[in-house]
Amino acid sequence: MSEPTGLLGEVFADLAARHPASLRGAQEARAIEPARFDATAERYLGWLRKARGDAWLTSSVNAYVQFSTDVIFAQADYEDDGAYAHDSFAKAHAEVYSQRHVMDEYLWGVYLTNFLWVHHMEIMRFFQDRFLAPLPANAHIVEIAPGHGGWGVWATASRPDVDLEGFDISPSSIAIASSIANAAGVSDRVTYTLRNALDLAVMPEASADAVICSFLVEHLEQPDQLFAVIGRILKPGGTAFITGALTAAQVDHIYEFRRESELIVLAEQHGMRVRESLSVSPQRILPKAKFLPRSMAMAVTRCAHGFW
Amino acid sequence: MSATLDKLTTVFHDVFEDDDIVLTRETTAADIAGWDSLRNVMLMRKVGRTFGFPIDTSEVTGLKNVGALVDMIDRKKGA
């Protein structure tokens, strides 16, 4: 396998020079399908450089390493305690979401995990092949909690026929996702609004051809409410891409999913059928771990006739 | 070898399960097989327990080499 070039080459070189302990995971992610990884990374990094300017490399690599380190520390604490650190949205909001600087760096770190974490790169492939490619022409996508914007912007940049409306509770998310959309040249088809995802229950029923909701469910006290919203706004026959974290700690993860079936049942209870799913764990976990951290993605369809 | 580096070497032997590891101030993660992000966190937690103070994650990510870790430990011990 050849060495990475371009912007990705700069990221790998910076990791090797300043954070060698964090390089191996990125190398593992690339090794699975190097050509596709490189293309995905170059696109994401190109937007990142435009959005953040000349200081993009050092600041973004720092954010990635900080976020990844925080996650491993949280997982180690979870192994010791047997439970996530917080169980209320209010605590997560106080520590993360309401802290603008913390939230900004957090989001840039998460942005890079979309491809630098091997299991997230697997989810990214699922997103591209199993959700995005089969979407009908001119689909109207609603993105719930876009965070850094990397999923929805990827969708609109890959499919010039679709448009996207995103809602997030965090001003940092709105600002960063908007900057990524601008950098990708899709801001004419993307709008972001500051709004609680659960308030979307007032949106017109069956108004979306597709929904993207990535890694939100584990941040909620009552994930059931989110699935109710998705099931309501999705048109019959419409598709949602939903991801969640299972037994995977993070400072702001508050709902502990232990089994993949829990997410599937939530979708089914709200009128959706899981067409395909993928659950992936990192290649390396803490030694003697009691919990296997996983990321799960589902492509679900809103049933038109009850059972299907 | 400083007392801190000596004690730190024992921590490394334990975390990496390798008694042949020899540390210098210039040692980095690139020099020790298996020193990945997971081991790095295990190492820092063990360092915190061994030397008797908590280590913040932001302190971990800024460390350049073992010498920087020794200096941080000595600074915290003296604080």
Total Cβ atoms within 10 A of residue A199: 11
Q: Which fold has domain A117-302?
A: Rossmann fold (3.40.50)
Tell me: pLDDT of A203 over 90.
Answer: no
pLDDT of residue B63 exceeding 90: no
From A18, A21, A287, residue closest to B37, measured CB to CB? A21
> pLDDT by residue (tens digit) across B6-51?
999 999 999 999 999 999 999 999 899 999 999 999 999 999 999 9
Residue B44 sits in a domain whose CATH number is 1.10.1200.10
Contacting residues of A for B35, CB less than 8 Å apart:
20-21
Report CA-CA distances (Å) from A166 to A84, A116, A211. 28, 24, 10
Q: Which domain holds residue B36?
A: 3-78
Q: Which residues contact A21 (CB under 8 A, 6 or more apart)?
A: B29, B35, B36, B37, B39, B40
Using CA atoms, how far apart are residues A86 and A285, in angstroms rounded to an integer? Answer: 22
Amino acid found at A64: Y
Token digits of residue A17: 């020079």
- Residue B1 CA to residue B5 CA, distance in Å, equals 6
Q: Would you call A66 and B42 a contact, using CB atoms and an 8 Å cutoff? A: no
Tell me the whole-structure pTM to 2 decimals: 0.94
Number of domains in chain B: 1
pLDDT digits (tens, 9 = 90+) for A244-272: 999 999 999 999 999 999 999 999 999 99
The proportion of chain A whose per-residue pLDDT surpasses 90, expressed as a percent, equals: 89
Portion 7-46 of A in contact with B at CB < 8 A: 16, 18-22, 24-25
- A68 CB near a chain B CB, below 8 Å? yes
Q: Which residues in chain B are closer than 8 Å to A70, comparing Cβ atoms?
A: 57
Report the residue of B26, B27, B37, B58 to disrupt the A interface, i.e. the one with the largest count of A CBs within 10 Å: B37
* Interchain CB contacts (distance < 8 Å): A and B: 50
Inspect the interface and report whether the beta carbons of B37 and A24 lie closer than 8 Å: yes
Alpha-carbon distance values, A179 to A46, A47, A174, A270 (Å): 12, 9, 9, 34
Q: Does the pLDDT value for residue B1 go beyond 70?
A: no
Q: What is the chain B residue with the closest CA to A27?
A: B36
Query: B16 exposed, middle or buried (CB, 10 Å; 0-12, 13-18, 19+)?
Result: middle
Residues of B within 8 A of A96 (CB-CB) are: none
State the DSSP code for A189.
Answer: S
| Terminal Cα distance for chain B, rounded | 22
Q: Is A4's pLDDT higher than 90? A: yes
**Among A174-178, A185-189, A302-306, the least confident range:** A302-306
The ipTM assigned to this model is: 0.88
Please answer yes or no on whether A65 and B39 come within 8 Å at the CB atom: no
CA atoms within 13 A on the CB side of A182: 12
Q: Are residues A286 and B42, on separate chains, in Cβ contact within 8 Å? A: yes
Domain definitions of chain A by residue range: 6-85+100-114, 117-302
In the structure encoding, which two tokens stand for residue A216, read together? Answer: 């939100």
What is the overall mean pLDDT for chain A?
95
Enumerate the residues of chain B whose CB falls inside 8 A of the CB of residue A108. Answer: none
Predicted local confidence at residue B79, as pLDDT = 62
